[in-house]
Amino acid sequence: MASGDLEVPLLLSVPERGSVRSGLAEALRAAVLDGRYGAGEAIPSSRVLAQQLGVSRGSVVAAVDQLVGEGYLVAHPRAAVTVAADGVVVPLRSRVERAESAVVPAPVRLDLRPGRPDTRDLDGPEWRAAWRPALSAPPSELPSAAGHAGLRAQVAEQLRRSRGIDVEAEDVLVTSGTADAVALLVRAAAAALGRSVRVAVEDPGYPAVRRRLSAEGHEVVGVPVDADGIDLDALATSGADVVIVTPSHQYPTGGRLALAARLELVRRAATERLLVIEDDYDSEFRYVGAPLPALASLDGGGGVAHVGSFSKTVSPWLRVAYLALPPSSWLHAAVRGVDAERDASVSGPTQEALAAFMAGGGFRRHLTRSRRRYAHRRGLVRDFSEGIEWGSARGLDGGLHVVLGLPAPLSAVAVVAALAAEGLLVAPLDDYALADRAEEEALVLGYGSASDLELTTALSTIDRTVRAMLGGGPGVRGIPGG
């Protein structure tokens, strides 16, 4: 780590408890937040810090790297590490100073709508190495519509290992997104049944899938969800031929379908010829409790089609998703027929690079790092939600977003507009409901792409804005004025 040999005027002291790395990271973070190191200012070199604090240089480097990842510091090639620029760092003064002076955080320029992962970790040698062969000497033939053979094999292996789904490479098709995979399956169901089909979707649910199916002329009906996911009693009376569910982490409310409900849904798929499309949304990110088995892993009758995506685990920029359907499925032949009529929807180099990234272990290591990072940010949101007096949060057991309830008489749309005026973008829960049904007043807040510092500043902005719209009042407990 390059930096100037600046003196350390005893701005830091490492706590005695815990590891040296975590203690030093805590000390550096505090020094940035209370303004001892100003925005854009270089911190001392790792050598100087190690010498003056009496710790190893490796511990210093690890602590600084952690704060770079959290957004407090910025690393520059062959130059000093500096504090993040103005407009990002907001000094958090002592409680006495905050009580005496009404400190208003600087406006946040941040998009916290859900669906945005942190991709900064991908700027590394493993990711770049995966792309090199994919971008050299491209083959002369068109890529297969079913997908790159290597990527299909890697997806099948990942599903067997992490989700217990017994599929082979030939059972996997690559698509350009979740909506693309779902639409292909619904078209295949209509072809297999020889008629138009009625599709049940969770309400609230994923708007892009609803729009895609409606645009293709399918009848779409909403089925309400509760704290545990889709309402199976309401589904039974919907007359649906196809149902799309997000059992691992209901989108967007965050519920998880219980094991008994999963078994019942699989039973209906087998006995009632109901096609169950399992969108395994956010199954990779679980923070509380053991993961429940995928519906497709419980299915012995071929009535469940499994859909997944790399939009959260890698990047939405790739536009890569997949579906997996066992040969025992009554839909298998129809899916092959529909697939044969389409062109390849994902570029060949993208598929080849992703396959190489998975085969070399880079994907697995990236996922492990991402889980740790998101779990930490989820903790920041949990602590915030436990400290506010005006609302509550749900959906924090997994995923990369949270639903934050608002008190009466506030309108979520009005709060969203007020936050947008501050430069902070979030979504109202009502955006995910069908047009003829109102949702509760709540915000949907994504925490995947923000650094720790950006996230905590944004949460402070939300608290301040909501309290102002309520006519003032106490802020987050323990921090006078929010």
What letters, b where the CB count within 10 A reaches 16 and e where it falls short, cover 125-144? eebeebbeebeeeeeeeebe
SS3 call for 444:
strand
Sequence-distant (6+) residues with CB within 8 A of 303 are 266, 268, 269, 270, 273, 274, 275, 276, 329, 330
Kindly indicate whether the domain formed by 125-360 is annotated with CATH number 3.40.50.970: no
Q: Which residues have CB under 8 Å from 61's CB, separation 6+?
A: 1, 46
pLDDT 10s digits, 327-380: 889 999 999 888 888 877 899 999 999 999 999 999 999 999 999 999 999 999
> Cα separations (Å) of 146 from 172, 262, 279?
8, 29, 19
Helix (H) / strand (E) element for 50: namely helix 46-53
Q: Are 72 and 84 in contact (CB under 8 A)?
A: yes
Contact 216, 183 (CB under 8 A): yes
User: What distance in Å separates the CA atoms of residue 22 and residue 421, rounded to the nearest whole number?
Assistant: 37
Give the C-alpha distances (Å, rounded to integers) separating 171 from 31, 225, 343, 376, 392.
Answer: 54, 30, 18, 36, 43
Q: Cα(457)–Cα(379) distance, rounded to whole angstroms?
A: 15
Going 141 to 146 to 147 to 152, the CA torsion angle's sign is: negative
> How far apart (Å, rounded) are the C-alpha atoms in residues 20 and 249?
36
pLDDT digits (tens, 9 = 90+) for 48-85: 777 777 777 777 877 887 777 667 787 776 678 888 76
In the chain, DSSP finds a helix count (H) and a strand count (E) of 16, 16
**Domain 364-469 in this protein, CATH class:** alpha beta
The DSSP call for residue 318 is G
C-alpha distance from residue 43 to each of 49, 55, 90, 106, 314 (Å): 9, 16, 17, 23, 32
Domain residue ranges of the chain, discontinuous segments joined by +: 20-89, 125-360, 364-469
Distance CA 12, CA 29 (A): 10
The CA distance from 467 to 482, in Å, is 9
Please state which CATH class domain 20-89 belongs to.
mainly alpha
The partner residues of 394 in beta bridges, in order of sequence, read: 403
Q: How far apart are CA 333 and CA 237, in angstroms?
A: 29
Distances (CA, A) of 398 to 56, 286, 290, 291, 377: 36, 4, 11, 10, 12
Give the residue among 421, 435, 434 at the shortest CA–CA distance from 468.
421
Q: Which two tokens stand for residue 90?
A: 């907001």
> What does each C-alpha distance from 347 to 55, 131, 316 come to in angstroms?
49, 13, 14
What are the pLDDT digits (tens) for 428-464?
999 999 865 566 899 999 999 999 999 999 999 999 9
In 42-124, at which residue ranges do the beta strands (DSSP E only) sit?
73-74, 82-83, 110-111
DSSP state of 328: T
What pLDDT tens digit does each residue of the chain (482 aa) get? 444 444 444 455 555 555 777 778 777 877 776 667 777 788 888 777 777 777 777 778 778 877 776 677 877 766 788 887 643 444 433 333 333 333 444 454 899 999 999 998 887 899 999 999 988 877 777 778 899 999 999 999 999 999 999 999 999 999 999 999 999 999 999 999 999 999 999 999 999 999 999 999 999 999 999 988 999 999 999 999 999 999 999 999 999 999 999 999 999 999 998 999 999 988 899 998 888 899 999 998 899 999 999 999 999 999 999 999 988 899 999 998 888 888 778 999 999 999 999 999 999 999 999 999 999 999 999 999 999 999 999 999 999 999 999 999 999 999 999 999 999 999 999 999 986 556 689 999 999 999 999 999 999 999 999 999 998 655 554 333 44
φ/ψ of residue 20, rounded to 5: -60, -45
